[in-house]
Amino acid sequence: MNRRLILAMTAALACAAPLAAGSPAQAATGCAIQPYGLIGARWAELGGETGKLGCPTTGERDIYVNNVGWAGRRQTFARGQMAWSPKQGPNMVVAAWSSKGYAYFDWKTTAPRSYDKFIVRWTSAADPHGAQEDFVGGTRGRAWTRVRTSSGYRWNVEGCDTGVFGSSCKQGWTISVTG
């Protein structure tokens, strides 16, 4: 899909199912920058300004990937990042943050797609070659690892279906986020 079509679909979804007045994603917060859209709604689910990520430190920014073009949007927060990655699902938002000695990665939702498994990758200054782990499939999930560096962890996920001759991972990797 091209970027304009995806943005139009997102705007249509937002208009078709507006958030109730006073809902967490629309409520005024103490943050100088107000998250909005799918990232804002997911941020509110994760506790908003007093939650896992804290207040935004940047606005949403378009993300372009070599050989693919426009891939989605990313926003940085006080304790991590979130990204809307529509190639993996029209409402797919990934989030990364660190807390109490652990780095966390959360993804939701790949619907209308559902996968047999997810492959999660992460890298850090302590482990520049990274690690990879398979997780049970579905439409969402969460991963974590013990923190071994203060520079943050970069995460992404790919949904796959298992076949006779291996896995098929047609939608590719999400936009990466650091937390």
Q: What is the pLDDT of residue 166?
A: 84
Among candidates 133, 91, 126, 127, which has minimal Cα distance to 108? 91
Q: Which residues does 7 contact at the CB level (< 8 Å), separation at least 6?
A: none
Q: Domain locations in the chain?
A: 3-178
Q: Which residues does 81 contact at the CB level (< 8 Å), separation at least 6?
A: 74, 75, 95, 96, 177, 178, 179
Q: What is the CATH number of domain 3-178?
A: 2.60.40.10
Q: What is the pLDDT of residue 17?
A: 37
Q: Note the residue count of the chain.
A: 179
Bridge partners (DSSP) of residue 152 are none
Bridge partners (DSSP) of residue 118 are 135, 159
Residue 3 has φ and ψ, to the nearest 5°, of: -60, -45
Q: Is the bond leading into 76 cis (omega within 30 degrees of zero)?
A: no
pTM: 0.82
Q: Which amino acid is at 86?
A: P
Q: What is the pLDDT of residue 9?
A: 41
Residue 8 has φ and ψ, to the nearest 5°, of: -65, -40
pLDDT in tens, the chain (179 residues): 444 444 434 433 433 333 333 344 445 679 999 999 999 999 999 999 999 999 999 999 999 988 778 999 999 999 999 999 999 999 999 999 999 999 999 999 999 999 999 999 999 988 888 899 999 999 999 999 999 888 789 999 999 999 888 889 999 999 999 99
| Angle, alpha carbons 46-177-124 (nearest 5°) | 115
